[in-house]
Chain A
Amino acid sequence: MNRLTNLLLILFLGTNVFASSEHAHSLLEPSALLESAGYTLALAQSTELRAVDVLKNANNLRNTVNELRAKEYKAEDDTEKELLHAQVNLLAEQLQLWQNEGAQLRQLANEMKHSASELLPIGFQALWPDQLKFVGAMQLAGNDHAPMAHNTTIRSVHPTMLGKMTDGTVTETADDMTLAMPSMTGQSAPEQLNVSTFQVSRELHYFAHIEPANSDSHTIPLNTIHQWHLFLTDQNGMPVSNAQIEFSGHMPGHVHGLPTLPRVTQEMSPGLYLVDGVKFQMKGWWVIEFITKQGDINDSILFNLNL
């Protein structure tokens, strides 16, 4: 960390974003881990905003520097040229500092997000030691080597796309197979896709974890209605009761949604909800969204599944 970031951190320590003594907690409290994750994420968010700010200012400064350079180039009077030259040099030095600062803040924000996300699984386990069963990504049953995972190229196409679709199916062959399968080009999940079943909501109000309700298996069946458990806490790691939760799911790159209308059918214990009616008719990249409403707080939690 450089001097400036240190300085910034110290600045943050003084702001009300930071924990005052009432936030101090014994680490034995089950909610403590999620609470600190919540704090780190809030910090990451303000750091990210600072980064955006600094980089925006740097951008403006760069434009100014470029304008001055153009002026310097055109200047006919030597003293004016020299003066402009000195200005350009000094400002360019500033620009460099600002850009570094912006980049470092951004990296710091990412590190904080990453570190918070690593806290989530153990945070949830501390809260629900008996109920929470699985921490890994959701997988389809019988899909260990994913033979069909290549095979999801059903595209909903608009007639205006017909002209573009004249290449036929693009296929690819997995290393351990000889059968070529339609490739998922254009619809496959991005490589760095976050498929964690532990997520923070868009507005940072909630933490959530999903897992198959069938405690015998961490896998979910294809083409079969099944249930999930949804664990929900607020940003302080306290279980959230009586939340109104809507479920939606779609496959990016397809126009299709889910073949059923799943919903939360029951709050089994505070913060632990039963989601019923889930069914996937296709392998591939699914995006699942829980839209939550609690008083005036509207928020949503996204999960990526790579089935």
Chain B
Amino acid sequence: MKFIRWVLLALISGFTTVAANPNQFSQQDIALLKTFTLSALGALPEAPDNRWADDDAAASLGKALFYDPALSRNGTISCANCHQPEKYFTDGLPQSVALGTTKRNSPSIPNAIYGPWQFWDGRADSLWSQALKPLEDDNEHGISRIAVAQLIAEKYATEFAEIFGDEQRLADIRTLAIDASKTPVVSPEQSAAVNKVFSHVGKAIMAYERKLTLTDSKFDRFVQALETNAGNALAQDTFNETEIAGLRLFMGKGNCASCHNGPLFTNFEFHNIGAPEPDITDVDLGRYAGVETLRSSEFNCLSVYSDAVPEQCDEMNFLKTQGPELVGAFKTPSLRNVSQTAPYMQSGQLATLTDVVAHYNSPVPPYYDREQHPSRPHFDIIPLKLTEEEQAQLVSFLETLVSPLPQNNPWWFP
């Protein structure tokens, strides 16, 4: 049926140009599309800075910590407040709300476990160092590392002793004054013990996050079907015509694949696409500021709390620290499950995928204020001139990237 319709359409359009059959894909098309499927993902990235990254006991412990609201100033906030499993570990809000309101939008964690950088500005170089930031952030968990260490000594002593060999450290921590109203007097040894245990909290959470794997989406199944059917899209019923048209736009006229590529639909690099500035009185410098925080981080790959030797910290050793292309640039987000993780952009400025595509279609150059910006931000995109129909097709394609929630993956849900 579809084929007949296509032939008719081609006849009506009078073959002014040689009309390509949108339903026939070549071997090379399929080879390209396969580089976007989960089958191309490969093993989890090596994590020399976290010796427990693939330790199951650490992962179970990490899961408990992830869902434990005791790890907060008021005993009600856990990571899962803002990273909810049924929302693909996001929270559906433009900016997250816990003890206060965060500046940015909560990203989907399963997409993050393959990237070299964490946060929109990449200010953490590992999942374990990332996990420590929300704990101490006043708007999020709002709990000090000392309080975290004390809680661990109380509640998770057995696990930390067994997995990380922290017995002595926890003993040292127990000798700290418990009076929360006073800043405890901490000796250098106790401080080292606190930091070490604190870093182990991050490492356990990271081991947990690495278990959050994705299942095949409609798109992945479509590419498999193309492969079995010699590229004939009429022999499959995964994708409809609109989705096929959207896929072709994504790779072609939409130019999306130049940044959103690979099995997670991201190159993990930083770009400025001119998303509306959320607060022009306090502009977000993105990667430009992120690099500075990263370099001074006490928990990066080069730090004493890392398990890596410095030579293994490639990204830190060859870090790009300057250049106008860092100004206002954000990490290209994965587009996996994107239709389930609205709103969009670093501060949730855009409510729907239709808004996002409209933005790409007629982009406005980034806001520039010479008082606040170190240099004029570079702008990485060009107007697309897509019709309304094409924009809708692109959105339909983005909606095919949903991995069904893995109901029988015990790691995923509390």
Interface set of A (CB-CB < 8 Å, partner B): 142, 145, 147-148, 151-159, 162, 165-169, 171, 173-174, 176-182, 223, 225, 255-263, 276-277, 279, 281-282
- Selected from B27, B252, B268, B318, the residue in CB contact (under 8 A) with A225 is B318
Number of B residues, CB within 8 Å of A: 50
Q: For residue B383, which residue of chain A has the nearest CB?
A: A165
Show 30 A/B contacts (Cβ-Cβ < 8 Å), sorted by A: A142-B35, A145-B31, A147-B29, A154-B271, A157-B365, A157-B379, A157-B380, A165-B382, A165-B383, A168-B384, A169-B253, A169-B384, A176-B27, A177-B28, A178-B25, A179-B32, A180-B251, A180-B253, A181-B252, A182-B253, A182-B255, A223-B267, A225-B315, A225-B318, A255-B378, A259-B269, A259-B320, A263-B318, A276-B314, A277-B318
Which residues from chain B contact A157 at a C-beta distance below 8 Å?
365, 379-382
Q: Are B382 and A155 in contact (CB under 8 A)?
A: yes
Q: Are A166 and B385 in contact (CB under 8 A)?
A: yes
Which residues from chain B contact A165 at a C-beta distance below 8 Å?
382-383
Which residues from chain B contact A147 at a C-beta distance below 8 Å?
28-29, 31-32, 35
Q: Are A282 and B318 in contact (CB under 8 A)?
A: no
In Å, the complex CA distance between A168 and B391 comes to 13
Q: Does B159 contact A (CB under 8 A)?
A: no
Given contacts A156-B379, A162-B365, A277-B314, contact A177 B252 (CB under 8 A): no
A37 nearest CB across to chain B (Å): 33
Q: Does B321 contact A (CB under 8 A)?
A: yes
In Å, the complex CA distance between A162 and B294 comes to 34
A224 nearest CB across to chain B (Å): 9
Q: Are A257 and B381 in contact (CB under 8 A)?
A: no
Which residues from chain B contact A263 at a C-beta distance below 8 Å?
318
Q: For residue A282, which residue of chain B has the nearest CB?
A: B258
Which residues from chain A contact B32 at a C-beta distance below 8 Å?
147-148, 177, 179
List 9 A-B pairs, minimum CB-CB distance, nearest first.
A277-B318, A168-B385, A147-B32, A180-B252, A260-B318, A159-B365, A225-B314, A156-B378, A176-B28
Which residues from chain A contact B385 at a C-beta distance below 8 Å?
166-169
Q: Are B248 and A179 in contact (CB under 8 A)?
A: yes
Q: Are B20 and A173 in contact (CB under 8 A)?
A: yes
In Å, the complex CA distance between A180 and B26 comes to 12
Known: A157-B380, A182-B255, A259-B320; 17 extra A-B contacts, CB below 8 A, are A142-B35, A154-B255, A155-B382, A156-B380, A157-B365, A157-B379, A157-B382, A159-B365, A165-B383, A166-B383, A169-B252, A169-B255, A169-B385, A178-B22, A182-B253, A260-B318, A260-B320
Which residues from chain A contact B271 at a C-beta distance below 8 Å?
154
Question: In terms of DSSP, what is the predominant structure of the interface of chain A?
Answer: loop
In Å, the complex CA distance between A204 and B386 comes to 51
In Å, the complex CA distance between A88 and B120 comes to 74
Which residues from chain A contact B270 at a C-beta distance below 8 Å?
259
In Å, the complex CA distance between A157 and B386 comes to 19
With most chain A CB atoms within 10 A of its CB, the pick from B32, B254, B268 is: B32
Q: Are A261 and B320 in contact (CB under 8 A)?
A: yes
Q: Are A151 and B26 in contact (CB under 8 A)?
A: no
Q: Are B252 and A182 in contact (CB under 8 A)?
A: yes
Given contacts A223-B268, A255-B325, contact A261 B319 (CB under 8 A): yes
Which residues from chain A contact B318 at a C-beta distance below 8 Å?
225, 260-263, 276-277, 279
In Å, the complex CA distance between A145 and B251 comes to 16
Q: For residue B22, which residue of chain A has the nearest CB?
A: A178
A284 nearest CB across to chain B (Å): 10
Q: Are B321 and A159 in contact (CB under 8 A)?
A: no
Task: Tell me which residues from 236 to 258 in chain B have a Cβ below 8 Å from any Cβ of chain A.
Answer: 248, 251-255, 257-258
Q: Does B262 contact A (CB under 8 A)?
A: yes
Q: Does B259 contact A (CB under 8 A)?
A: yes
Which residues from chain B contact A162 at a C-beta distance below 8 Å?
365, 383
In Å, the complex CA distance between A241 and B380 comes to 41
Given contacts A178-B25, A259-B269, contact A152 B258 (CB under 8 A): yes
Which residues from chain B contact A152 at a C-beta distance below 8 Å?
258
Given contacts A168-B383, A225-B315, contact A177 B26 (CB under 8 A): yes
Which residues from chain B contact A255 at a C-beta distance below 8 Å?
324-325, 378
Q: Are B252 and A178 in contact (CB under 8 A)?
A: no
Q: Are B20 and A178 in contact (CB under 8 A)?
A: yes
Which residues from chain A contact B251 at a C-beta distance below 8 Å?
151, 179-181
Which residues from chain A contact B268 at a C-beta distance below 8 Å?
223
Q: Does B261 contact A (CB under 8 A)?
A: yes
Task: Tell me which residues from 263 to 297 in chain B have a Cβ below 8 Å from any Cβ of chain A.
Answer: 267-271
A156 nearest CB across to chain B (Å): 4
B257 nearest CB across to chain A (Å): 6
Q: Does B410 contact A (CB under 8 A)?
A: no
In Å, the complex CA distance between A227 and B24 comes to 40
In Å, the complex CA distance between A283 and B258 comes to 9
- Selected from A156, A223, A256, A276, the residue in CB contact (under 8 A) with B317 is A276
Which residues from chain B contact A178 at a C-beta distance below 8 Å?
20-22, 24-26, 29
Which residues from chain B contact A182 at a C-beta distance below 8 Å?
252-253, 255, 258
Q: Does B323 contact A (CB under 8 A)?
A: yes
Q: Are A148 and B384 in contact (CB under 8 A)?
A: no
Q: Are A261 and B321 in contact (CB under 8 A)?
A: yes
Which residues from chain B contact A179 at a C-beta distance below 8 Å?
25, 29, 32-33, 248, 251-252
Q: Mark B214-225, 1 if CB is under 8 A from A, else 0.
A: 000000000000
In Å, the complex CA distance between A162 and B365 comes to 8
Which residues from chain A contact B381 at a C-beta distance below 8 Å?
154-155, 157
Given contacts A178-B20, A260-B318, A262-B318, contact A168 B386 (CB under 8 A): yes
